[in-house]
Structures are given as structure tokens and as C-alpha cells.
Structure 1
Amino acid sequence: MMIKFATIGTNWITQEFIKAAKEVSDFILTAVYSRTEEKAKEFAEKVGASLTFTSLEEMAKSDAIDAVYIASPNSFHAEQAILLMNHGKHVLCEKPIASNTAELQAMIEAAKRNNVVLMEAMKTTLLPNFQAIRDHVHKIGKVRRYFASYCQYSSRYDAYKQGTILNAFNPAFSNGALMDIGIYCLYPMVVLFGKPLSIKANSTMLESGVDGEGSIILDYGDMDAVVMYSKITNSYIPSEIQGENGSIIIDAIHTPTKVEIRYRDGRVEDITQSQTHHPMYYEAKEFIELIQMGKKESETNSHYHSLTTMDIIEQARKQTGIIFPADK
């Protein structure tokens, strides 16, 4: 069964998603949405979509669409997703799926009410090398620490320093380092280890009202987790899961391409899986298969995992004073 898609967002991430999703045999791109007709037509031509929409309501009503990939600014996710789900459309929503837990709860309720799939487009946890981590973590014995680092200097930070505040550093769009980058450290942790008992967060705030970088220590009782993230510096260190018998070394937590176990006795086991497809292929495939099988949520990128991750983010924001207009 072919699944007819529309997309919201005309940025590079949408282009990458379409490129990846076209590798899934049952994906077909039907329509694109943009606020202006000119941009919608230009993007549709670029990606090979036959229909364009400048009205979300009209797109939601269209019989030519089964599912929508949302890659608009974070602050628009909930409103757009709920509108689409209320018209029976399945929704794959770019991470972070919402601005806060209240929005996400409303989205989940809409998905259940309308009997449609809602899934957060978190690519990391559906990649072959993340599955390798899940399959082999038992080998390192009792886990005592999860450490994840993702620090990537944003190309938009130079503009920010020159006085131009682009979306990435604008709290109006529910943005900042924790929302954009930190989530890549937190979501895999939640899938592997569940909900922490407590958290302690620190952030470096920028004058625009978003965080430029930060770190969180999370208590799991018999283990702890440490995550570091940044949009204003780079880091070159790998991430690591430390167990009593050895450690799993992960080259890049957001898109792992090399994963190995280093045992205490000096042995090294390479558990890397070959990743033959575009990194976003796996989320598209998971989402399409859920629709085809009549399932309503992913077991990995589940509503619970998304809610737990968003709850951690919300706690961290409260502790460090990151407030969005969407919170009010």
C-alpha cells in the first residue's frame, strides 16, 4: 500500500527527508505546503510534488494525502499536527515534537481520538547502530554511567553575533541548544534507561532568551547520566555507556556510524552495523510500516519516550530559566 505524503517546511531538512523517504518503496510525495505560492511551487518543482498548498486547512481536507511530515519551526508543531490529525492525517513530526509537555499531551490525545499515527522524527533511535547498542549493552555488565556529548557550532551563530537573530536563536520559535541539540543526547538515554529519578541542569543563556549551550546530570539511582550540548562551541569527543565489565564507545550520539565495546580485560569488539541507507530512511520506513500495519505508535519512538524526553527538557528549562511564548 502506497502512502501519499505531504510536507510542511521548505528547508534543507525537508529536502533531506524527501530524499531519504524516496528510498522506501511505499513512499510517494504528493504535495508540499508553504505560506507563499511562489515558494510552494518552487519547492514542489525541486522535490517532484504535483500539488501545492498555501492553506493548511485545505491541505488537511485533501483526499490526495494520507500522511504529513512536519518540519516547520518548533512552536508551530502542535497546532499544525492537531489540525491535520483532526482531518484523519497521520503525522511524522520533526524533533522536538512540541514546545512543552502540555502541547505534546494535546497532540497525543488528538492522535488517539482520530485513530492516526503520531511519531516524533527522531532518527537516532531507529538507526542500525543504535539497535546494535541495544542488542549488546548487556555485555558490559551493570551500567553505571551514560555520557553523551553533542556540541556543534551553529552556522547561524555568526549572524547572531553580528546582531541578526535567526530562528535558531529566537525563543518565539521554541528554539535553542537544548531543544535543537540536547534532545539528541536525551532521547536515546530515555529509550535505553527510561525516566530518571531527578535532574540537575545548567545553561549558558544568550541575550535573545535561548540557551547557547548546557549540561544536565540525571540520577537513575544505581547509575547516572551526563549530557552536554552546544550550538556555540564544537566538541570532538565520543559518547560512552560505562558498565562494570566494559564500555560502549559511540562516535556520534546523533548519528552513530562506529560503535565498539572496550572490555576491562583489554579486548575490543566492533559492533558497528552497516548503514546502507540515508540516516532519515529508517524513520520514514518505521512510520510507513506503522500505518500499513494499523499500529498507532512506534515501540521505539513511542508517545511515552517522547513525553518522558519532553518532561526532562521542561524540567531543565525551568531550572535554567528558558521560557518560550508557547509556555504561557
Structure 2
Amino acid sequence: MTRIGIVGTSSISERFAEAVAIVAGVEVSRVASRDAGRARAFADAIGAPHTAVGLADLLAAPDVDAVYLASPNAVHAAQVREAVDAGIPVLVEKPAVLSAEQWHAAVSHARERGVVLLEAMRSGYDPGLDAVRGLLPRLGVVRRVSLRYEKRSARYDHVLAGEQTNIFDPALGGSALRDLGVYPLHALVRLFGAPLAIDGVRVG
């Protein structure tokens, strides 16, 4: 049995716990939050038996074999390093970090320590993407591609009310691009490679 500790008590952590519950050989053993009460309430909601206050407490727990980091984007890099230093395999929510340099550093550090590090980018492992890649040679030279992902954010009502939310807070590494926007960008790079140049246009 692989016992997973969750860092973060957002809706994505809840969906992760639901997925774990239907997979044999895996269970959520602990939930960590900076607030003990919040950790306990979330653990009770998803059926996890134990809690931890903060990442260090979670990593030191005897019943944690791996961690799932669903914390604000801005703290991912430091938390990944802390978990890797503890020898604990890491599944970090997308975007794993805020820059290519941070990712290369994290991967290098994990390799040096012999620790598994994986970004929770589900679409990257979708057989449909592999099927598209396999069909590309039939198209000849691809000169233009348009990839879009449009969805009304569950937090949009908070934004309209003037409230700040983690996923859209630049101070926490949040933005529309780093939330749903990573999906078309990730697919673009997987299918066609890293871009040689990038231009951005702000609309609205």
C-alpha cells in the first residue's frame, strides 16, 4: 500500500482524493495544512485518518510514502525541494513551478537524490495526444495551429465580487495562463517542440 500525504485543502485536493479512492494499492493517509483545524476538517471530509500541520510535519510522519502538493504555485519549488531532501516521492500540481529554470533545477535535484518527481499534468499522458502526434506526419508541413481551452472558472464569481483567489493572485504564482492556460501550451510543446519565440497580446 502506498500512503499519500496531501498538502493543500482546495477542491483539486478533493478530486485527487476521490481518484485515489478508486485505485487499488493507494490511499490518502494524511492531510497537511498550516491550520490544524482546516486540516482536520478536510481529512474528515475525504476520509483520511491523520493530519499534519505544515509540510515538515507531514514529511516526518511514519505513514507517508509520497506527497501530493496542491499548494499555491509560488511555493511549489521550495516544497518540492523540501520533499526531495526528505527522500519522499512528489506529485506536484500543475504548473509544477513558475519557470523553466526552476523546473530544471527541481528535476536535477530529484535525480541527484534518486527521488521520483512528477508534475500532475494529466493531459500529457492522455492516449489521445499520442494519437494526434502519430497522425501529424500525414498532414505534411504544419504552418498554423490554434489550441484553446475555454471554461468558466469555478472561482469567477469571487473575481466578479472583487475578491482575490489563489489561482488568480500573481503574488501566489496564480493567473489564467497558469491555471487552465497551461493545457493548450503543454499540448503545443508536446506536439511541436519548444517555441523559438513567444509573443503575447492582452485582450480586454
Output the TM-score relative to the length of structure 2: 0.90
Q: Any gaps of 5 or more consecutive residues in structure 1?
A: 205-212, 214-328
How far 1:133 moved relative to its partner?
A: 1.9
Q: What is the distance in 2 between the residues matched to 1:143 and 1:100?
A: 28
Instruction: Kindly indicate whether structure 1 or structure 2 has the higher relative contact order, using CA contacts under 8 Å at least 6 residues apart.
Output: 1
Q: What are the superposed Cα offsets for residues 50-94 of structure 1, whole Å, 9 maximum, x if unpaired?
A: 221003112112231111111111011111111111000111111
Note if contact 2:7-2:55 (Cα within 8 Å) is conserved in structure 1. Answer: no
Q: What is the distance in 1 between the residues matched to 2:49 and 2:156?
A: 36
Q: What are the superposed Cα offsets for residues 231-269 of structure 1, whole Å, 9 maximum, x if unpaired?
A: xxxxxxxxxxxxxxxxxxxxxxxxxxxxxxxxxxxxxxx
How far 1:171 moved relative to its partner?
A: 0.9
- Give the match for residue 148 of structure 1: 147
Q: What is the distance in 1 between the residues matched to 2:142 and 2:23?
A: 36
Larger radius of gyration: 1
Q: What is the distance in 2 between the residues matched to 1:104 and 1:125?
A: 16
How far 1:130 moved relative to its partner?
A: 2.2
Q: What is the distance in 1 between the residues matched to 2:27 and 2:114?
A: 22
Question: 1:94-243 counterparts in 2 under 5 A?
Answer: 94-204=93-203
Q: What is the distance in 2 between the residues matched to 1:160 and 1:30?
A: 34
- Give the match for residue 63 of structure 1: 62
How far 1:157 moved relative to its partner?
A: 3.4
How many corresponding residue pairs? 204
Q: Secondary structure at the match of 1:52?
A: strand
- Structure 1 or 2: more strand by fraction: 1
How far 1:165 moved relative to its partner?
A: 2.0
Q: Percent identity?
A: 35
- Structure 1 or 2: more helix by fraction: 2
Q: What is the distance in 1 between the residues matched to 2:37 and 2:65?
A: 24
Aligned Cα root-mean-square deviation (Å): 1.9
Tell me whether 1:36 sits opposite 2:9 in the alignment: no
Q: Any gaps of 5 or more consecutive residues in structure 2?
A: none
Output the TM-score relative to the length of structure 1: 0.58
- Give the match for residue 88 of structure 1: 87
Counterpart amino acid of 1:52? T
